[in-house]
Structure formats: structure tokens, C-alpha cells
Amino acid sequence: MADRSFARPTSPPRERDREGEMERFRAFAATRAVAQRNALAEEFAWVARHCARRFADRGEPFDDLLQVALLGVVKAVDRFDPEHGTSFVSFALPTVLGELRRHFRDATWAVRVPRRLKDLHVEVGATIEFLGTENGRPPTPDQVAAHLGIPVEHVLEALDAGAAYRSSPLNMTGERGDDDEPSGVLMGAEDADLANADDRMLLRQAMSELPLRERRILELRFTGGLSQSEIAEQVGVSQVHVSRLLRKSIRMLQAKLGHGGDDDALDMDDEPVE
């Protein structure tokens, strides 16, 4: 379990020195010093907090989720290769989310389920999320089975096993939590501010890894407030192509941030596309 000294991570800095970050990881890779590992884990503890909040509606104490997520950050620090060409945050997100999913697989099943089905349930769930992001729509059991190379009956069995998974209907939008208090109150205003800071930092990291044209189109649409037709004039492509690039870019961001999602929630279709 992660060191309790990381239990109150701070928010990420507004500006991160990417090269300085890589130098710190190179120094750690050369020495494997515990003090350097702890310093890096503490620097990126905000990633753990961001990931833990995604699972905070499942009835588990947030501090427990945070400790699991912090362990994921430590593992990511140990495994990260600064010469690989990707940012640490992009590398760490799948590791931390994987630790949290394993925690729920092992600790939060309402009835006894064989380990084989628990593992398959996690694998099927990850495949559904991946294929949904890749194709823009939820996959069928047959498609999941084909992707995993297993019989469709095994996919259905794993989905049925999910009924034994203990998941609380609470959410982070003011529904009731422990002691009959709204969960937003339990989080506190400081935590909400940290949540916004963490989300902005992750979004900036993910945006920086998009191709320049896609990044510009997203900025024109969501920062500049331009319509698709106005963006088309600025970029020099058709409105239809702008619409496709917007959807593609949003799916790329969702994949980098570890989210599924519905493009419609981002007001994509604000105008007809011919």
C-alpha cells in the first residue's frame, strides 16, 4: 500500500516543464533511488486523486481509493521509460486506472465469483470501452468476442458475472452519500477546486499530443466558440471534414484520458452538416 504521506496530494502546476520532467525521470532511471521515486510519486499524486474520483460513486471510502491509486502512480514511476516519447501522465493513467479496477474486481463483489470470471469481466469491460471509443458506438458481444479471440458465450458469461458486482448508485452531483449528506458536501470546496485543476492539467497534456490541425480545430470550436462552417473557412476544409475531425479528435482525447463518452454531450451537432 502506498505511503500515507501522499494522502493529501496537491493540485498540478499550471505550467509544467516537460524537459525538466523528463530529466527527473532520466535521473531516477539511472539511480533507482528511493528518494527520487518518492519525489516523483508525490509530484504526480494529483493524477491518483483524479483517477480515484472517477470511482468515488461506488460506495468505497475515498481515502481507500486514493491509496490504491497512489500505489498505481508509484508503479507507473517505476515502469516509465522517459525515452519512449510519451508524457508520464499519458503513461500513468492506464496503470492507475488498472489498479483501481483490480481493487474493485478483488474487493467489491456482492457474491462469490471465480477469479477466472472476475478477470474476464475486467477484460471484457476494458474491451467494450476500447471498441466503443474506436468505433464511436458500443460493440456487440460478437465483436467483443472476436477482438478477444474467445467464444461469445464466454463474453456473455462475463457480463452476467457483472451482476454480482457491488456498485453504489451514488454519483458526484449531489446525490446522497454516507451519513445522508450530499457527496458534494463531503468532498468539500477545496476538493472541487482540485478536481477542476486536475482535469484542466490532464486535458492540456492530452491536447499537446494531438496533431496540430486537430488541436487548432478543437481550440477554435470550444475556446473560440466558432461554428463548424466558420472553422471550415479558417482551416480551409469542408464543413463535413471539420465535423469528422472534431469527432475523431474528441475520441482521441477520450482515449488518452481513459474515458468513454458521447460526443453529443459536447454539443457537436450544433448545425446541420451537408
Digit-coded pLDDT (tens) for 118-172 = 778 778 888 887 787 777 778 888 888 898 899 988 888 887 766 555 444 333 3
Is pLDDT at 208 greater than 90 in this prediction?
no
Q: What is the pTM of this model?
A: 0.45
Tell me how far the alpha carbon of residue 253 is from its chain's centroid. 10
Average pLDDT of span 1-7? 44
Q: By the 8 A CB rule, do 209 and 90 touch?
A: yes
Longest Cα–Cα distance in the chain:
59
Q: How far apart are CA 91 and CA 205, in angstroms?
A: 11
Tell me what pLDDT residue 2 has. Answer: 43
Assign residue 174 a region (left: φ > 0; alpha: ψ between -120 and 50; beta: otherwise).
left
Cβ-proximal residues to 215 (8 Å cutoff; 6+ apart), any chain: 207, 208, 249
Residue with cell 481550440: 219
The residue with greater pLDDT, 84 or 16, is 84
Tell me what pLDDT residue 108 has. Answer: 56
Closest by CA to 272, choosing from 228, 235, 241, is 228
Tell me what pLDDT residue 40 has. Answer: 94
To the nearest whole number, what is the mean pLDDT of the chain?
Answer: 73
Q: By the 8 A CB rule, do 209 and 86 touch?
A: yes
Tell me what pLDDT residue 18 has. Answer: 75
Average pLDDT of span 43-69? 88
Domains detected in the chain: 16-108 (1.20.120.1810), 111-167 (1.10.10), 194-257 (1.10.10.10)
* Tens-digit pLDDT profile for residues 216-228: 888 888 777 788 8
Closest by CA to 168, choosing from 53, 57, 62, 56, is 57
Is pLDDT at 54 greater than 80 in this prediction?
yes
Tell me what pLDDT residue 207 has. Answer: 76
Tell me what pLDDT residue 140 has. Answer: 84
Q: By the 8 A CB rule, do 145 and 154 touch?
A: yes
Tell me what pLDDT residue 269 has. Answer: 44
Residue with cell 472517477: 54
Q: By the 8 A CB rule, do 95 and 76 touch?
A: yes
- 51-55, 84-88, 118-122, 161-165 — most confident range: 51-55
Average pLDDT of span 99-116? 71
- 6-10, 28-32, 132-136 — most confident range: 28-32
